Structures are given as C-alpha cells and as structure tokens.
Structure 1
Amino acid sequence: MSMQQSQTMVVTGTGSVTGKPDLVTIQLGITTHAEQLADAQAENTKRSQSVVSRLSTLGVQENDIQTSSYTVSPQYDYIDGQQRFRDYEVHHQLRVTSRTVSNIGEIIDAAVLSGATEVSSIQFGIEQITDLYEHALSKAVENAKAHAQALALAAEVVLNHVPVTIQESLQSDAGPFAVQMGKMAASPRIEPGTLEIGATVTVTYSYR
C-alpha cells in the first residue's frame, strides 16, 4: 500500500478460493537411439503409436494427445580428444490431457509400459475455472476496500467508496511437478488434492 499524490491512495487486494481438479496434463517423452536415422525414427514411431493406442483404452481422447516437440540429433563420443559418431537420438514429446483425474497413476504406468521413457511433468487443472476466478476476484476487491478503509480511519480522512481505478493483475496457474521415472516400480499414487485460485487487484481511491 502507498500514498499517491495528495488526494488519492493506492491499495492492493488479494483473494483466493479453492477448487477440486477435474483434468490433468502430463508430458511424456519417447527417446530412441540407432546408428541409422531411419531405424531410430521407425522405432520411435512404433513406441509412440503404442503409447497412444494404450492410452486410448484408458479413456484418453485422441485429440487430447498432442506432439509438443520432435527432435533428431546425432550423438557423439569423445575418445582421445577425437569426436566420434555414436548414433542418432530421436526424442518425441507428447502432451497428454486426461479428464479423469482418478486414474492418473494408471495412465502413467500404461505409458511407461507401452514405450514412454520419460514423464517430465504433471499439472492438474480445472476446466471451468472462470466462475472460481471471478469469485476470487470479488474477494480481492473487497480486500482492497478493507485496506483503504483502514488507511482512511488511521489518517482521519473521509474515503470516497467509489474507486477511481481498479487494475487486475495476471492470473497465475498451478505449477507442474516432476515425477522420477526410476521410482516407478508400480503405478504411482498421485493425489491431486485441491487447487488454489488466486486474484490480485490494485485499486485507487480518492479521499478528502
């Protein structure tokens, strides 16, 4: 909070609500190696198709499985200061969205058994988040108003309760968390819990 000019004050308000996730996004990687590029690509295609096919049997829709990156790079060894070609590496990154949060562990397990070599992140979300965010935004405005009233009372001035300006800050999403492939001896138990949806506003009030 800060005082701005002689007749206005600027306050910041925050608000938050919680919601239960109803979708989850997973980043899967399929990496293959071969001395011949065509062989590395063919093996990668085979594994990728196997992963997609297996996930479809678990209810993941085809349009919810998208390629996020596809890279091909030669790999080299350095022996006695000399660079020697080893093989080609093909890496296919898939972005998978499931609207059945409860079976996330089964999806990961199935993907790994079908050929995925990496699970880089898992991110839970709420598909219809607008109403929750607007509720948090309303709380943020009320919070800013309470700050302004407290300032006006302390300064013994009369607050104009109609804001001069209200500026909304950008909404932040819940961040992903990493899953270590080496620890997946069985289907991982992953609890989505609840997500916090936050809002922040900057409000300018006038006073006399």
Structure 2
Amino acid sequence: MKRMIPLTLIVASAALLGCQPQANAMPNESVAPATISVNGSAAVEAVPDRVQVRLNVERTGKDIPALKEEVDAITAELLSYLASEGIAKEDIQSYAVRINPKYRYDDGEQILLGYQVSRRVVVDFDEADQHSAFLEFALDNGVQRVEEPQYSISNADGLYEQALAQAVANARSKADKLAAAAGVTITGVRQVNENSHQAPVARYRMMAANEMGSADVSLPGQQSVNAQVHVVFEISAKD
C-alpha cells in the first residue's frame, strides 16, 4: 500500500524553505564618493643667474702640426684668462683636438683641400654677467665660432617647488568654485598628479663675430618656472 503524505505538510515545508537565507547572497558593496577633477597651474618668475658658453677654437690649412700648435696657443690664452677671473677648473671643459679633412669634388674626383683642426671649450659661469667679457676676449684672440649661450636659474628646484604648491592652491580654488556652483561640499583629496617637470632654461640668439657689439646687448630677461597638477577632490551633498 502506498503511503500518503498530507498536502498541508508539503505546503508548510515549502514555506519554511522560502524563509531560509540564500547562501550566495553578495554583501553590500561600499559606494565610492563622488569627485571633482580639476587642473591647476602656476608660474614663478626669476632672472637667470647662470650661463653656459660654448665655443670652438678652429684653424684650417694643410700643415696639421702648425694648425694644432695655433689651436693649443689660443686655448691656453682662454684658460689663462678664465683662471685670472677666478673661474674654477671644474667649471671648464676643454676637449681633445679634432682633425677633419676638407675636400672638394671635380667631375667626381675627390681633391683634398686641407684639414680643419678644432677644440671645443665649454665654460659654466656662476654669474651671468661674467660671460660677456669672456666672449669679447675670445673673439679678440682668434675664436671665430661661438654657439648660443644657455641661461639657467641656480635655485630652479626651489622655485619649482614653490610653483607646485601654488598650482595645487590654484586647483583647490577652481574646485571650490565648481563645488559652490553645483551645491556640494569638498570633503577631501582623492588624488594629486604632477603634470610638469622642472626645466626652466632661457636662450638668446648669439650673433656672429662680425655682428657682435657691446656686451650690454646680452640680456637673458625674466624667465618663468612653470608647474601643472591634476587633482581629484572628494565631494558630498551639503547638509
């Protein structure tokens, strides 16, 4: 004989099963706070106080030993002048002599014209106004090619840090205005990214030897040390 199970018992069991918590239920995930993202920038002005001068002592001809002797003599004059002006040896780079043949071509035939003997000299001046007198001395003593001087700021790192702080303040000012317009309140900083790097260098065009005039024309001007940041601020609704 088959055993009969009352219908009421089956319904009651189903009801109890429905009341059991689900084993795979996911816990409530925290919701990330709302944010405002802004860019900030700032610039600190300064006058460059350092300058690097690069020049080449060159002579061209066919007698290599004689050409080298002349290049060496001019270089020695330059080094002697720099020493008399108190320029430290570690601020002077005098490179080895280079010898390059010079050719011309006639109907595809290579004809040797002579040689160019040269030496490169690089000088770093701690005071920018020192370099003008040195350039005049160099041009008066046989130097024929001077490259573009490169100005820099000695305390550039400190100025850049100032600019960074001001850039963050600029970003906060922008965020405050956006938050006020949106009717929310800034509650914290989620992220700060530096979008710039410190490289404040100024340059001016160096005239050729026959264009060189008074030393007073070599003015570096005022230069900017710039910084940019990207800041993400957390916000919440106003109470």
| TM tier, smaller | 0.7 to 0.9
Identity of aligned residues (%): 26
Deviation at 1:186, TM superposition (A): 4.8
How many residues in Structure 1 have an aligned counterpart in Structure 2?
204
Q: Which piece of structure 1 moves more, 94-103 or 179-188?
A: 179-188
Q: Which has the larger radius of gyration?
A: 2
Task: Say if 1:70 and 1:180 are closer, same or farther in 2 by CA, change over 3 A.
Answer: farther
Report SS of the residue matched to 1:207: strand
Given the alignment, which residue of 126, 149, 167 partners 1:122?
Answer: 149
Q: TM-score, normalised by structure 2?
A: 0.73
Partner of 1:198: 226
Correspondence list, 1:1-208, <5 A: 7-67=34-94, 71-181=98-208, 182-187=210-215, 189-208=217-236
- Hey, what's the Cα distance between the residues in 2 that align with 1:207 and 1:90? 68
- Hey, what's the Cα distance between the residues in 2 that align with 1:18 and 1:62? 31
Report SS of the residue matched to 1:83: strand
Tell me: higher relative CO, structure 1 or 2? Use CA pairs within 8 A at least 6 residues apart.
1
Q: RMSD between aligned alpha carbons? A: 2.6
Deviation at 1:6, TM superposition (A): 8.8
Residues 165-188 of structure 1, C-alpha deviation per residue, up to 9 Å, x if partnerless?
332521122232221122125545
Deviation at 1:70, TM superposition (A): 5.6
Unaligned runs of 5+ residues in structure 1 are: none
Q: Is the Cα–Cα contact under 8 Å of residues 48 and 116 in structure 1 kept in the other structure?
A: no
Q: Is the Cα–Cα contact under 8 Å of residues 8 and 206 in structure 1 kept in the other structure?
A: yes
Unaligned runs of 5+ residues in structure 2 are: 1-31
Q: TM-score, normalised by structure 1?
A: 0.83
